[in-house]
Amino acid sequence: MIVEQLAAAKPFVDVPAFSIQHKIDNHTIKEFHSHQGFEMVWVKGGEAQFIFEEKVFHLKKGHVLCFKSSELHKVRLPDDQGYERVVIMFTDDLFPETQPIYQEFKELLDQQPTPHFYLQIDTQGYESFSHIIRKLLQEEMAPEKWQQKHALNLYVTELLLFLSRRLHAETNETNQQHLTNPIQTQEKILREINLIWNTTWQLEDLAERLHFNKYYLCHFFKKEFGMTIQQYVLQRRMYEAKKLLVETNMSVADIAVQIGFSTASNFIRCFKKYQQVTPKQFRNQEH
Q: Do residues 155 and 136 lie in contact, with contact meaning Cβ atoms separated by under 8 Å?
A: yes
pLDDT digits (tens, 9 = 90+) for 208-246: 999 888 888 998 999 889 899 999 999 999 999 999 999
* Residue type present at position 203: L
Pick the CATH number of 181-286 from 3.40.1050.10, 1.10.10.60, 3.60.150.10, 3.30.565.10: 1.10.10.60
E strand map for the chain: 18-25, 38-45, 47-52, 56-60, 63-68, 73-76, 83-90, 116-120
Q: Does the pLDDT at position 7 exceed 60? A: no
35, amino acid identity = H
DSSP string, 162-215: HHHHHHHH--HHHHTTT--HHHHHHHHHHHHHHHHTTS---HHHHHHHHT--HH
pLDDT tens track for 252-266: 999 999 999 999 999
- The answer, yes or no, to whether residue 6 has pLDDT greater than 90, is no
What is the spatial distance between Cα 70 and Cα 138, in angstroms, rounded to a whole number? 27
Q: Quick check: 180 pLDDT over 70?
A: no
Outline which parts of the chain fall under CATH 2.60.120.280.
Answer: 2-175
Q: Which CATH architecture has domain 2-175?
A: Sandwich (2.60)
Residue 182's pLDDT is: 77
Q: For residue 41, give the nearest of 111, 1, 101, 90 by alpha carbon.
A: 90
Tell me the torsion sign for CA atoms 71, 64, 232, 278: negative
Between these two residues, 12 and 251, which has the higher pLDDT value?
A: 251
In whole angstroms, what is the distance from residue 27 CA to residue 154 CA? Answer: 30
Q: Is residue 49 scored above 90 in pLDDT?
A: yes
Residues 6+ apart with CB under 8 A from 104: 164
pLDDT of residue 79: 87
Indicate where the chain has its CATH 1.10.10.60 domain(s): 181-286
